[in-house]
Amino acid sequence: MNIGFVPILFLLLCHPLLRADDTSEKRLPNVVILATGGTIAGSGATSTTTVGYKPATVPVQALIDAVPELKKVATVQGEQVFQIASQNMTNEYWLKLAKRVNELLQQPDVDGIVITHGTDTLEETAYFLNLVAKSAKPVVIVGAMRPSTALSADGPINLYNAVLVAGSKEAVGRGVLVCMNDQINSARDVTKTNTSTADTFKSPELGVLGYIQGDRVAFYRLPARRHTLNSEFDISGADKLPNVEIAYGFANVSRTTVDALAAAGVDGIVYAGVGDGNPSEVTEQALADARAKGILIVRSARVGNGIVARNSEVNDDKRDFVVSDTLNPQKARILLMIALTKTKDTKEIQRMFYEY
Ligand code: SIN
């Protein structure tokens, strides 16, 4: 039996929107909003300032107060976990956030969590939590492309939709979700595809999981890969994560970046290769030399879609490299970091890349 099935069934049977309490009235779901900064909490000089504004300035209670409609769909409570522009996200912030998320998910009076976040690294935080959050309760990450002061700011509707999804029975057991622009995407597949437009978050080729239309949460697909309750990873005792960096492939690439990373003593390198994750001959040798020093190597692709094929143009068995499956380089970095908290065995790590 799928180990996630029993807790999911239990949560569904207890869900406030299904269960009648003593007075035969359904209560609204309790949703905690954890705020971390970003453009959704940004402010600009005028209503048309959509570039050159200051992200991460508006506190969580002001974000909640700006959307009184939230009260109709959930009992919300806000908490400012930190206040940063998400390009400044670090492993330490992730550990802090994940620990708080897991504490809250254990509380019987919490039905779901929304995390407000900058869009630049939103997909990375989402995938990190997808691997380490320990509950079937919904966790939804949301951001905005326009600051809160902008004409037609997208933050308020995105926040409303995220709370609606986090409090819904439909989102139970679906892993960490990203809700932007009326769409629900899986943390694993979603990526930011445009530097500035509101419809930037997409799951290219693999597609959205569902939509929010009015007050309706509509799912059409399930995430197929292991996540949350069904994940083998546990960061509850960690105060540091392994050091994994990304090297980028391009025409005329030299071995300088890979050698520099190896000399810096990293634990792992994700190579964002060209095409099918390919390094040039010189970078392949640099990666092999790094591997000989004990550094884990994952080949991903700068292309952003498709499966990186094992033992195709690179003999991964001979080199003892791992391939990233369909994970983009920034998400492959996260899985490698988390994998390294458990093992350095490349066969085991390859299994993880095929399962998560
Ligand atoms: C950030 O990622 O914090 C700034 C950009 C954004 O939220 O859109």
Report the atom number in ligand 1 closest to the C-alpha of 121. 2
| Beta-strand pair 183-186/210-213 | antiparallel
Rg of the chain on CA atoms, in Å:
21
- pLDDT of the residue at 26: 82
**Every domain of the chain and the residues it spans:** 25-230, 244-355
How is residue 74 written in tokens?
Answer: 């959930």
* Rounded-to-integer distance, Cα 61 and Cα 35, Å: 9
Residue 55 beta carbon below 6 angstroms from any ligand 1 atom? yes
- pLDDT of the residue at 1: 43
Q: Which residue puts its alpha carbon closest to atom 2 of ligand 1?
A: 118
How is residue 200 written in tokens?
Answer: 């930037």
Beta strands in 155-243 (DSSP E): 177-180, 183-186, 191-192, 201-202, 210-213, 216-219
Q: Is 219 exposed, middle or buried (0-12, 13-18, 19+ CB in 10 A)?
A: middle
* Rounded-to-integer distance, Cα 158 and Cα 150, Å: 14
Residue 118 beta carbon below 6 angstroms from any ligand 1 atom? yes
- The candidate with the shortest Cα–Cα distance to 313, out of 278, 269, 288, is 278
Residue 145 beta carbon below 6 angstroms from any ligand 1 atom? yes
Give SS3 for 75: strand
Distance 118 CA to ligand 1 centre (A): 4
Q: Which residue puts its alpha carbon closest to atom 8 of ligand 1?
A: 119
Residue 116 beta carbon below 6 angstroms from any ligand 1 atom? no
How is residue 320 written in tokens?
Answer: 């003892």
Listed in sequence order, the residues at least 6 apart from 226 whose beta carbon sits closer than 8 Å to its beta carbon are 232, 355, 356
Report the atom number in ligand 1 closest to the C-alpha of 88. 3
The answer to whether 57 touches 12, Cβ cutoff 8 Å, is no
* CATH 3.30.420.10 at 25-230, yes or no: no
Neighbours of 169 (CB within 10 A): 18
Residue type, 281: E
- pLDDT of the residue at 11: 64
- pLDDT of the residue at 44: 96
Residue 85 beta carbon below 6 angstroms from any ligand 1 atom? yes
In CATH, the number for domain 244-355 is: 3.40.50.40
DSSP notation for 319-340: HT-EE-TT--HHHHHHHHHHHH
Distance 50 CA to ligand 1 centre (A): 12
**Which helix or strand (DSSP H or E) is residue 32 part of?**
strand 30-37
Q: Do domains 25-230 and 244-355 have the same CATH topology?
A: yes
- pLDDT of the residue at 20: 46
* Rounded-to-integer distance, Cα 112 and Cα 108, Å: 10
Distance 230 CA to ligand 1 centre (A): 30
- Write 343-352 long-range contacts (CB < 8 A, 24+): 344/294, 344/296, 346/296, 346/320, 346/321, 346/322, 349/296, 349/298, 349/322, 350/310, 350/322, 350/323
Listed in sequence order, the residues at least 6 apart from 172 whose beta carbon sits closer than 8 Å to its beta carbon are 8, 11, 12, 15, 136, 137, 138
How is residue 194 written in tokens?
Answer: 């445009």
- The candidate with the shortest Cα–Cα distance to 82, out of 125, 111, 128, 131, is 125
Residue 119 beta carbon below 6 angstroms from any ligand 1 atom? yes
Residue 177 beta carbon below 6 angstroms from any ligand 1 atom? no
Give SS3 for 108: coil
- The candidate with the shortest Cα–Cα distance to 314, out of 340, 291, 288, is 288
- Give residue for tokens 């005792």: 237
How is residue 310 written in tokens?
Answer: 């094992």
Give SS3 for 271: strand
In tens digits, what is the pLDDT along the chain, a chain of 356 residues? Answer: 455 555 666 666 667 766 544 444 689 999 999 999 999 999 999 999 999 999 999 999 999 999 999 999 999 999 999 999 999 999 999 999 999 999 999 999 999 999 999 999 999 999 999 999 999 999 999 999 999 999 999 999 999 999 999 999 999 999 999 999 999 999 999 999 999 999 999 999 999 999 999 999 999 999 999 999 999 999 999 999 999 999 999 999 999 999 999 999 999 999 999 999 999 999 999 999 999 999 999 999 999 999 999 999 999 999 999 999 999 999 999 999 999 999 999 999 999 999 99
pTM for the predicted model, two decimal places: 0.96
* Rounded-to-integer distance, Cα 195 and Cα 100, Å: 30
Residues known to be catalytic: 39
The most distant pair of C-alpha atoms in the chain lies apart, rounded to whole Å, by: 72
Q: Which of 39, 43, 84 to mutate to test the pocket of ligand 1 (most atoms within 8 A of CB)?
A: 39
